[in-house]
Amino acid sequence: MKVTMSCLATALGLVLAVPAFADGDAAAGEKVFKKCKACHAVGDGAKNKVGPLLNGIVDSPAGQVEGFKYSDNLLELAEGGLVWDDAALATYLTKPKDLIPKGKMSFAGLKKEADIVNVVAYLRTFQ
């Protein structure tokens, strides 16, 4: 439980630093998403890879993609109410281990705020 509260506190603490997601550019996000394609898929016919498919991920509860084996740490956070809203996605895409310390994702994160905003805008097109 301490891990869950600690991770959620970190995420909530970063809410104030959430970028302006309304300004996201999905076309630019599609280009940035190329960094994600080795492990994740979106669109018609998307399937789980090393990471879960990401159709419908934005504003959805964490750990819900059928057929994907999530880390225990992510499942614990999901049970605690983690939702992939703008704040959680911003934290996760900046540095995944800040939100899910014992998660499976090995990606270090995106450095540019604009890239994060644009990737989320792109993912929103697959709702």
14, 25, 5: which is closest to 86 by C-alpha?
Answer: 14
Task: Say what the pTM is.
Answer: 0.83
The domain spans of the chain are 2-124
CA atoms within 13 A on the CB side of 78: 14
Q: Which of 40, 31, 109 lies closest to 99, judged by CA?
A: 109
Q: Give the amino acid at 57.
A: I
Which tens digit of pLDDT belongs to each residue from 6-25? 555 454 444 445 566 777 99
SS3 (DSSP) at 108: coil
Nearest to 86 by CA among 104, 113, 68: 113
At the topology level, CATH places domain 2-124 in: Cytochrome Bc1 Complex; Chain D, domain 2 (1.10.760)
pLDDT digit string (tens) for 36-90?
999 999 999 999 999 999 999 999 999 999 999 999 999 999 999 999 999 999 9
Show the tokens assigned to 10: 């970190």
Structure tokens belonging to residue 65: 């993609």
- The pLDDT assigned to 20 comes to 67
Give the model's pLDDT for residue 7: 52
